[in-house]
Amino acid sequence: MIAKGSRVRHKDKEIDKIKGVMAVLEIKNGYAVCGYSDFERYGKGIETYPLTDLKLGE
């Protein structure tokens, strides 16, 4: 189950190649606000995805 703080990947392989592993910052109304928790990608932008488009990351 995806929860706030989970590490997730996008189910679409093309989007996953670009975005990689993201951290869930907030969940509301079936959507997850995702960003990056590692310093290397900090500030790269925040994306919102439906929870159905995400899977738990490694």
Q: For tokens 């159905």, what's the residue?
A: 52
What would the pLDDT profile of 19-51 be if each residue is shown by its tens digit?
Answer: 889 999 999 999 999 988 766 666 677 899 999
Copy the structure tokens of residue 1: 């189950």
pLDDT of res. 31: 97
pLDDT of res. 17: 92
SS3 state of residue 2: coil
Distance CA 4, CA 13 (A): 23
Note every long-range contact of 29-37, with CB atoms under 8 Å and residues 24 or more positions apart, other chains counting: 32/2, 32/8, 34/8, 37/7
Please provide the average confidence, as pLDDT, over all residues in the chain: 89
pLDDT of res. 46: 87
What pTM did the predictor assign? 0.84
